[in-house]
Structure 1
Amino acid sequence: MTALSFQEKCVSVINGAPRWAVFFLFDLLDDLLCIVFRFLDEVMEGKLESCHCKIPQETTDFAGYEFLSDHKHLSETLYRRRNIFRQAGFLRFAKKLPEITKKIGIVTFLRKFLLPGKMKKVLREVANRWSDCGCKTCVSWTNTDQLNVIVKQPSISHDLLMSNKPVENVIFIHGFLSSSSFWTNTMFKYLPETTAKTNYRFFAVDLLGFGDSPKPRDSQYSLKEHVEMIEKSVILPNNLTSFHVVAHSMGCIVAVALAAKFSNSVKSIALVAPPYFADSKGGASCTALDVIAEKKLWPLTSFFTAMMAWYEHIGRGICLVVCRHHRTWERIIKVVTWRRKLPTAIMELTKHTHQSAWHSMHNVICGGAKLTDNHLETLVHSGVKINVMQGDRDAIVPIGCLWNMKARFPAIEVEVIPGTDHNTVIMSRKEVFVAKLVTLWASDEKKKD
């Protein structure tokens, strides 16, 4: 037994060695990039952009996660991501970098001789950071302070006006690195605008920081901000006194928080592949990061998720290469694939900033984990019908999240869809999914009657 145990440990060490080596190098690279980006931020914008490589000064005497007690809408994972070099004080040089560069005048030199035409622009506030794309499409949101919302409703006709059928409102919320087109380009054509008893009005939103919605550089993209923007952009302008919610992936966390805030108005919630982590010991945020972004090399999607979620500056570097130059990449892909128009899924991968993606990942997916239980308790207590479904081959959100939610809240209806993954649970069965939604909405009507 002992020999077998020793052998298993040896195999585990051998298999884990490459993974440890890769992420050890990432720890070093991320800290080096912290210094690089601090220097470039001062050169390009005349100020240092804040990062999360160290805990703020006012939190030096914390115990556990109490240093965030006054910032309950932020996630502990922003400051508590393990990094060997950071813990060893490797960034002490970075703290002195601004003083050093000012003394030797290198920043002024670079601004004057390398960016003469941008001197004034560098020193004033702009909508996007220098490492984000500033094309017309990417900054079009500066003309509004509300989310981009796509509305589908019945065409106004005399017969429709005379029908006196009640109108059911439905809000659709997309997931991480997605947009409203996840619904509008796929599901909307299957949704009935009107049935024998009901007229429907559908709202698909681009969440704050994604799609064509605003991407403010100073936002923390907290769960609270996402909910308030939906309230400001959809609920209040359209005077929604009752509505249903449909959400996918990260959008499920936003949907549950939104529904809990309007528990007297929401009629039903349909959640698809929701990340759920019970907060029994107060560590749901860190658990969420460890599970959703586990440090592993395979499959590649998991490796990429871990790299982007654990390493702030590596992630910013990738966004600098990919998102800032998305038009170049789109042209290259069109030439290689011989396509005039690229699939929406490819286009929306770059319709965000590093700030919006990074903070939404931590403050919504991870930080929202510690709030979801309270939100669900509010909804269950209010008698809101909650239906959850997930594919049994989902490699992004573990199927265990579904069963943990069901164990914690038995009143929630759950369904596992065989042979589907995180996206095909909807995309491979659009008509069936829509039929399920219509049945859910209709059952709520009968319940109210």
Structure 2
Amino acid sequence: MEFSVMCKTRHVLTLIGSVLNIVLSFIVFCFLDILDFVLCFVYKVLDFCIESEWKNPNSGSYSAATLDGSGKIIVSEQGETESEVVYLTSNKFQLEEISDTLYSRPSFVTEVSNQLKKLTFDTITITKSTEKKKPTRSTITINSTIVKLLQGRMIRQYLYPITRWSDCDCQFCNSWTYSTKRTLFVKSDGPKDQAKEDVVFIHGFVSSSAFWTETLFPNFSSKAKSIYRLLAVDLLGFGRSPKPNDSLYTLREHVDMIEKSVLEGYGVRSFHIVAHSLGCILALAIAVKHPESVKSLTLLAPPYYPVPKGESATQYVMRRVAPRRVWPPMAFCASVGGWYQYIARTVSLVLCKNHRLWDFLIKIITGNR
């Protein structure tokens, strides 16, 4: 009897907690939607005042980019929302899929804006033009921010070759700017010329090669280090590797940089891969591209989410990883970091830019000198 009462009480409390979580989450994230919208324009003004350059906020607006024979990008505003974009390599344009979560993130502000646009659109009568159609060129839908990045690549220059005002200016964070080589930072351990086998370590998101070099590397036996050459890489945008502001940080770019910095840079012909989290995706891509060279794959906590039929894969995974809930705390932190670019930039500005101060304070509090 008592057990059944306890079960019913627990069920009721769980139900009440779930309802409170949903209601509170709705209120909190509506507020965060508005706050991020406001911060978007605050940073737009700050960037203009400090860097003397007006930057359009990533509000989800798209443009139609037309590619002509001279290699120019012709942009015309449209209301499409496709996720395919073009990027420029050294000799040709290639189509590459960019996750639509990069520029299309549903929020309270965008939903209200879309409803207003729909109401306005419904009051307008659209008539088809009877004019003779002119020859058209190849046209795709592309985000206007990406168009600007592509234009910078076409004239072979970095839009921001140095760090921006909101980035940390310490030597460690900017070590990549001191080098003329645009390659990733790689920490090597073991024999240089007489290694029998190579092992490439790829870290996950919000991490670096230290994930391996400060945990695994010191615990390998001297015998293992005499046989294997251990290569831990800082991915593009992480650790001591380059963080170019004109990069889209696509799967292709990550894989290309690993090939250039590790496989070609260290003369690696056949190798094992050990990867964690985000690194697992890159490891699989490398294995697909170099099936004869990869001897083994060790994947730690690979991100795998079965997507229901008919669902948008990117949006579904985004909702799973960042569910827009205040509880549990990890879900709240992931939601803030995943959905809100400018709130995340503010957190980065406070914490990351001033990491030396925080390190100093933590050492004083913990007594770790």
- If the length of structure 1 is used for normalisation, what is the TM-score? 0.60
Report the alpha carbon displacement of residue 180 of structure 1 after superposing the two structures with TM: 0.6
1:291 aligned counterpart, secondary structure: helix
Aligned pairs for 1:36-47 (under 5 A) are 36-47=42-53
Unaligned runs of 5+ in 2: 1-12, 65-76, 87-94, 117-158
Is the Cα contact below 8 Å between 1:52 and 1:78 reproduced in 2?
no
Indicate the RMSD between aligned Cα atoms, in angstroms: 2.9
Question: 1:207-241: per-residue Cα shift (whole Å, max 9, x none)?
Answer: 11111111111111111111111111000122211
Q: Corresponding residue for 2:182?
A: 145
For 1:83 and 1:199, locate their aligned partners in 2 and report how far apart those are by CA, in whole Å.
53
Is the Cα contact below 8 Å between 2:202 and 2:209 reproduced in 1?
yes
2:296 aligned counterpart, secondary structure: strand
Aligned pairs for 1:39-438 (under 5 A) are 39-58=45-64, 60-62=78-80, 66-68=82-84, 70=86, 72-89=96-113, 127-142=162-177, 143=179, 144-154=181-191, 167-192=196-221, 194=223, 199-278=227-306, 281=310, 283-340=312-369
Amino acid at match of 1:259: A
Unaligned runs of 5+ in 1: 1-6, 93-123, 341-449
Amino acid at match of 1:46: S
1:154 aligned counterpart, secondary structure: coil
Is the Cα contact below 8 Å between 1:193 and 1:200 reproduced in 2?
no
For 1:24 and 1:336, locate their aligned partners in 2 and report how far apart those are by CA, in whole Å.
36
1:210 aligned counterpart, secondary structure: coil
Report the alpha carbon displacement of residue 185 of structure 1 after superposing the two structures with TM: 0.7
Structure with the higher fraction of residues in helix conformation: 1
Question: 1:178-230: per-residue Cα shift (whole Å, max 9, x none)?
Answer: 1111111110123345469x821110001111111111111111111111111
Report the alpha carbon displacement of residue 12 of structure 1 after superposing the two structures with TM: 4.9
Q: Assess, with a 3 A threshold, how the Cα gap between structure 1 residues 235 and 205 changes in structure 2: closer, same or farther.
A: same
For 1:301 and 1:9, locate their aligned partners in 2 and report how far apart those are by CA, in whole Å.
21
Question: 1:24-59: per-residue Cα shift (whole Å, max 9, x none)?
Answer: 100000000011011111001011335432232227
Is the Cα contact below 8 Å between 1:31 and 1:86 reproduced in 2?
no
Report the alpha carbon displacement of residue 67 of structure 1 after superposing the two structures with TM: 4.1
For 1:39 and 1:318, locate their aligned partners in 2 and report how far apart those are by CA, in whole Å.
18
Q: Assess, with a 3 A threshold, how the Cα gap between structure 1 residues 42 and 187 changes in structure 2: closer, same or farther.
A: same
Is the Cα contact below 8 Å between 1:170 and 1:203 reproduced in 2?
yes
Moved more, 301-310 or 23-32: 301-310
Is the Cα contact below 8 Å between 2:191 and 2:227 reproduced in 1?
yes
How many residues matched?
Answer: 293
Question: 1:308-358: per-residue Cα shift (whole Å, max 9, x none)?
Answer: 100011011111111111111111111111112xxxxxxxxxxxxxxxxxx
Amino acid at match of 2:171: K
Is the Cα contact below 8 Å between 1:151 and 1:203 reproduced in 2?
yes
For 1:50 and 1:233, locate their aligned partners in 2 and report how far apart those are by CA, in whole Å.
33
Q: What is the percentage of aligned positions where both structures have the same residue?
A: 40
Structure ranking higher on relative contact order (CA contacts 8 Å, 6+ apart): 1
- If the length of structure 2 is used for normalisation, what is the TM-score? 0.72
Question: 1:246-288: per-residue Cα shift (whole Å, max 9, x none)?
Answer: 0011111111112211112111100010101346657222122
Structure with the higher fraction of residues in strand conformation: 2
